[in-house]
Amino acid sequence: MWPVQIDPWVAAGVVLATATTDAVYVMFTSAVVARRRVPAATWSSIWYLLSSFAVISYTNNWVYVLFAAGGSWIGAYISITLLHRSPTHAPPPPPLGPTPS
């Protein structure tokens, strides 16, 4: 069996690239669901640009696929967490009419 050599900088780059890629993918999906064409197209192009680094990095060494999977998990988790923040708008006004006593 060959000894596996991992460049820590490349591994960190792959984690960062895939985390960012997954976050961008979540934003892309959100824009598609909201039927916003320009943001969806913009997020889509950013998604492909970011994914190229990870793909190019781990095609030379299969071990980087593990770093890509970890980065993907991190990116999706953080972006979903940020998308599901509490609403910042005021609560709706109370109903009109007499209040029950």
Structural domain including 71 reads 8-83
Tell me, yes or no, whether 60 lies in a domain. yes
pTM of the model: 0.57
Tell me, yes or no, whether 93 lies in a domain. no
Q: Give 5-61 pLDDT, tens digit per residue.
A: 888 888 888 888 888 888 888 888 888 888 888 888 888 888 877 777 667 766 677
Answer for the pair 22, 75: CB distance below 8 angstroms, yes or no: yes
Tell me, yes or no, whether 16 lies in a domain. yes
Cα dihedral sign, 59-60-62-65: negative
Tell me, yes or no, whether 29 lies in a domain. yes
Tell me, yes or no, whether 35 lies in a domain. yes
Tell me, yes or no, whether 1 lies in a domain. no
Residue type for position 20: T
Tell me, yes or no, whether 3 lies in a domain. no
Tell me, yes or no, whether 23 lies in a domain. yes
Domain count, the chain: 1
